Amino acid sequence: MLDAIKQKLADEVGLLNHELQVTLPEALKRALAMGDLKENGDYHAALERQGFVQARLSHLRGRLAKLSQVDLTKIPTDRVGLGSRVVVLDLVTKAKEKYALVIPDAMDFDGEQISVASPLGKGLLGKQVGEVAVVQLPNGVRQLKLLELKTFYDHDIEEKPA
């Protein structure tokens, strides 16, 4: 899981580095060749894009550094933690819901993934099957009973060929 996230971020870093070192300098050269820079929209757009790319690269490098510091041995084997997949029962609506707890960089917004940094993710962290998480959300308090749990380690076992 973490290796895939690191690869995704590294791929984006590679694309942005190419843009910063090849594409944007060419665009700036073309804009400079047009003359007067005060009213040169291409020049100002390229400079603005250059600033954005530099900021995004800085952010991605920081995320990669933090991901490298994640200690997988500290992920619990019997409680909800990073990489867990859970089934919960909303005690008010009686609806069952499935969630996968991921880091924000791994989210694909398919409806089942939640960030471990979100209020819902924080409320579920550390819970065991049978426990109730009381979660304060912007639209009110939710009580979710943990029915099923597959941890990061369970997925690892399932994905490895026999």
Residue 101 belongs to domain with CATH number: 3.10.50.30
Tokens of 7: 């690869």
Mean pLDDT over residues 126-149, rounded? 94
Bigger pLDDT: 13 vs 6:
13
Highest mean pLDDT pick, 34-43, 57-66, 129-138: 129-138
Q: Which pLDDT score is estimated for 110?
A: 67
Range of the domain at 47: 2-70
Q: Same structural domain for residues 62 and 78?
A: no
In this prediction the pTM is 0.63
Helix boundaries (H) for the chain = 2-18, 24-33, 41-68, 119-124, 152-159
Residue listed under structure tokens 């994905």: 159
Q: Which pLDDT score is estimated for 161?
A: 41
Q: Please identify, among 47, 70, 93, the residue that sits at the C-terminal boundary of a domain.
A: 70
* CA-wise closest residue to 13 among 67, 59, 68, 69: 59
Q: Same structural domain for residues 79 and 152?
A: yes
**Phi/psi at 43 (5° precision):** -65, -50
CA pair distance 44, 51, nearest whole angstrom: 11
Q: Please identify, among 19, 49, 70, the residue that sits at the C-terminal boundary of a domain.
A: 70
Q: What DSSP element (H or E) covers 94?
A: none
Whole-number mean pLDDT of the chain?
86
CA pair distance 135, 123, nearest whole angstrom: 5
Number of domains observed in the structure of the chain:
2
Q: Which pLDDT score is estimated for 158?
A: 47
